[in-house]
Amino acid sequence: MLSYRHAFHAGNHADVLKHVVTIQLMRYLAQKETPCMYIDTHAGAGVYALDTGYAAKNAEYETGIARLWSRKDMPAPVAEYVQLVKSLNPSGKMRYYPGSPYCADRTLREQDRLRLFELHPSDSRILEENFRKLEAHAAAQGQRPTVRGKRVIVQVGDGFTGLKALLPPPSRRGLVLIDPPYENKMDYRSVKDTLADALTRFSTGTYAVWYPVLQRMESRQLPDKLKRLPANGWLNVTLSISTPSPDGFGLHSSGMFIINPPYTLEPMLKEIMPYLVSVLGVDDGAGFTLESGETMAVFTGKRRV
């Protein structure tokens, strides 16, 4: 199904959760000198304009990055994420939002590798073009250029299938982000099956899955199915900004499920999730949950009125 375009949702509350968590996972991997590989199974276009086109239609970024843009009280991991977004907007005006590939490129190092899959033909072309522009901009600013064709490879195709050929990465260190559209309910099964296969090839890798929290059965069951995979540990965090609408439409909540998370992730989330709820929440339905396979404890929090 090729109708989905992430630009409609760029910068919303779900992107905030996804990108804050993903940046911290990459920061952890970059602490060791050994190179690592970042694999994005559904990379999208890489960078999104917020003031024109798809993103401007519903302005979903107003539920996310816009609420953080001028804050001065952010916890360090949230501030790092916002600063990365601002680096794409040197004028100070919020015009562009980075997708996961841009976040990875700016967070990882020259020796690390990025492998980006995108099935949508238009978005894959835009992704390639965006990296060409980023390379030119970096060179003009005297910054480290992105070496396309070696450090960054964009592949047009199904990331669920393409992932197999990349595991394990040569360095045996890596992060896989799985973020499909979920328009087709088969995506939920593909996530679980892909992870089951990936863990047989690269059992020590870190895997991060973004998923919508919806009423449909497949969405509700996905976290429990992922918990049963044969991994060394897992962490599941959800962020809700409002009470679900009576008609069931609209995305009010999303989650990140991380397999083999670093030990630093759980305490970081305990710190920032109450803050995100307080800033992004819009009614009494706002809150978060945090579950860990290590402690088997469940943390919850609601918006303070």
* 3-state SS, residue 56: helix
Cβ proximity of 111 and 92 under 8 Å = no
Q: When comparing pLDDT for 99 and 300, which is higher?
A: 99
Residue type, 150: K
Instruction: Name which of 61-70, 119-128, 272-281 the model is least confident about.
Output: 119-128
> Does residue 292 carry a pLDDT above 70?
yes
- This prediction has a pTM of 0.91
Closest CA to 248 of 284, 287, 219, 279: 219
Q: In which band, very low, low, confident or very high, does the pLDDT at 2 lie, cut at 50, 70 and 90?
A: very low
CB neighbours of residue 156 within 10 Å: 15
Least confident of 79-93, 154-168, 190-204, 286-300: 286-300
Q: What homologous superfamily does CATH list for 6-302?
A: Vaccinia Virus protein VP39 (3.40.50.150)
Q: Which residue has the tokens 């809150």?
A: 287
Which residues are catalytically annotated? 179
Domain boundaries in the chain? 6-302
Nearest to 255 by CA among 204, 305, 221: 221
Q: Is the pLDDT of residue 143 over 90?
A: no
Condensed to tens digits (0 to 9), the pLDDT of residues 90-137 reads 999 999 999 999 999 999 999 999 999 999 888 889 999 988 887 766
**Mean pLDDT, the chain, whole residue set:** 89
DSSP string covering 81-107: HHHHHHHT-TTSS--EEE-HHHHHHHH
DSSP one-letter code for 109:
-
